[in-house]
């Protein structure tokens, strides 16, 4: 603003100087003319001399003003150059420190507002205390670790999604295989139950009620009895139902060996005979090892192993092959 005012003043002074110069030229002509008519126009000559002197004084004053304005102009240009150099150096420091370019000064830039903002920011920086320049490296390390952990998290999420799909597929296949096996066991159980009891009805039902533990419930109805839960049967009937269920499973998934430990203990003689018939049926494909004290079961066996104590404290195993004895008896007959 000062520079513009000075320039306007300089223009005004130049205009005045030009005007004065023009007047000076006219005055000189007038002096020449006046010298011719000097004697006649002496009063006017004196007046013009005074005017000339005044113009000279004005000219001198204008020259002084011009010198002062020139000095002021040079000072302003020097200050402007210093500010440009300081701004350039500050910009270079900021770019080297923060690593980015800054835009040019906007048209509506207000220096006073910028200074106030700088003062506010400086006060905030002072309140923050000492600057930890190592925090940038720490931030980069933490950022790299976070990126690594985030990639691991995404891998885990993808793996979890794939595992859920695999689990869902396995559950579907398991459910399908279980239901197929369950239907086979159910049919086998009904057949074996009817064979052991000589009739009657039985069923296996899946229990999957809300709030209850899922499982399997057996309903059995021996001949001349109503269908009811297995828990309401007698001990012998429970044993026969359990054996029917076990052999129903065994029929679906047969095994080369089967070990039974005193399963015929709760049975009466008639049911033991039925149980032995069932064993004979399955013994065609599998070998049964039975721990028993029942004479009917021992008579049904092919080989008997017994433990005796001929000497106190010393056990002795005795074996007897009944199948060979039966063949010898039949040959004698």
Can you give the pLDDT at residue 286? 86
Report the percentage of the chain scoring pLDDT > 90.
9
Q: Does residue 328 register a pLDDT over 60?
A: no
Where do the domains of the chain lie? 2-93, 181-301
Can you give the pLDDT at residue 147? 92
Any bridge partners for residue 228, and if so which?
Answer: 220
**Residue 167 to residue 246: CA distance in whole angstroms:** 30
Q: Does residue 162 register a pLDDT over 60?
A: yes
Q: What is the value of pTM for the model shown?
A: 0.48
Report the range of poorest mean pLDDT among 46-55, 102-111, 166-175, 249-258. Answer: 102-111
Phi, psi of 192 (to 5 degrees): -65, -40
Q: Read off the pLDDT of each residue in 263-271 and give the average, rounded to a whole number.
A: 85
**Residue 191 to residue 281: CA distance in whole angstroms:** 13
Can you give the pLDDT at residue 42? 65
Letter string b/e over residues 7-22, b meaning 16 or more CB atoms within 10 A of that residue's CB? eeebeebeeebeebee
Mean pLDDT of the chain: 80
Report the range of poorest mean pLDDT among 46-60, 168-182, 318-332. Answer: 318-332
Q: Does residue 79 register a pLDDT over 80?
A: yes
- Quote the tokens at residue 151: 């990639």
Q: What is the CATH number of domain 181-301?
A: 3.40.50.300
pLDDT-derived band at 154 (thresholds 50, 70, 90) equals: very high
224 with 235: CB under 8 angstroms? no
CA angle 76, 60, 2 (to 5 degrees): 20
The DSSP line for 155-190 is HHHHHHHHHHHHHHHHHHHHHHHHHHHHHHHHHHHH
59 with 20: CB under 8 angstroms? yes
- Closest of 244, 249, 258 to residue 195, by C-alpha: 244
């Amino acid at each position: 603003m000062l520079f513009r005012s000075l320039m306007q003043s300089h223009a005004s002074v130049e205009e005045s100087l030009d005007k004065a110069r023009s007047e000076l030229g006219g005055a000189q002509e007038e002096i020449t003319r006046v010298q011719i008519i000097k004697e006649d126009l002496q009063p006017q000559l004196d007046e013009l001399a005074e005017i000339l002197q005044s113009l000279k004084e004005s000219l001198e004053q204008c020259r002084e003003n011009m010198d002062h304005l020139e000095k002021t102009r040079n000072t302003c240009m020097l200050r402007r150059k210093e500010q440009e150099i300081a701004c350039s150096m500050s910009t270079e420091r900021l770019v080297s420190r923060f690593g980015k370019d800054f835009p040019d000064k906007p048209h509506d830039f207000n220096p006073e507002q910028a200074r106030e903002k700088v003062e506010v920011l400086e006060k905030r920086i002072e309140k923050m205390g000492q600057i930890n320049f190592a925090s940038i490296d720490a931030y980069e390390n933490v950022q790299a670790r976070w990126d690594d952990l985030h990639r691991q998290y995404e891998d885990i999420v993808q793996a979890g999604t794939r595992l859920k799909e695999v689990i869902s597929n396995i559950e579907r296949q398991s459910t399908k295989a279980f239901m197929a096996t369950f239907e086979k066991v159910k049919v086998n159980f009904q057949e074996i139950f009817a064979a052991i009891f000589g009739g009657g009805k039985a069923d296996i039902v899946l229990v999957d009620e809300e709030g209850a533990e899922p499982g399997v419930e057996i309903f059995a109805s021996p001949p001349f009895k109503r269908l009811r839960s297995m828990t309401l049967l007698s001990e012998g009937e429970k044993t026969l139902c359990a054996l029917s269920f076990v052999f129903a499973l065994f029929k679906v998934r047969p095994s080369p060996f089967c070990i039974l430990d005193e399963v015929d203990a709760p049975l009466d003689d008639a049911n033991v005979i039925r149980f032995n018939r069932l064993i004979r049926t399955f013994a065609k494909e599998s070998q049964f090892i039975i721990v028993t004290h029942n004479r009917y079961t021992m008579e049904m066996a092919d080989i008997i192993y017994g433990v005796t104590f001929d000497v106190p404290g010393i056990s002795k195993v005795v074996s007897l092959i009944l199948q060979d004895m039966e063949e010898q008896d039949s040959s004698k007959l």
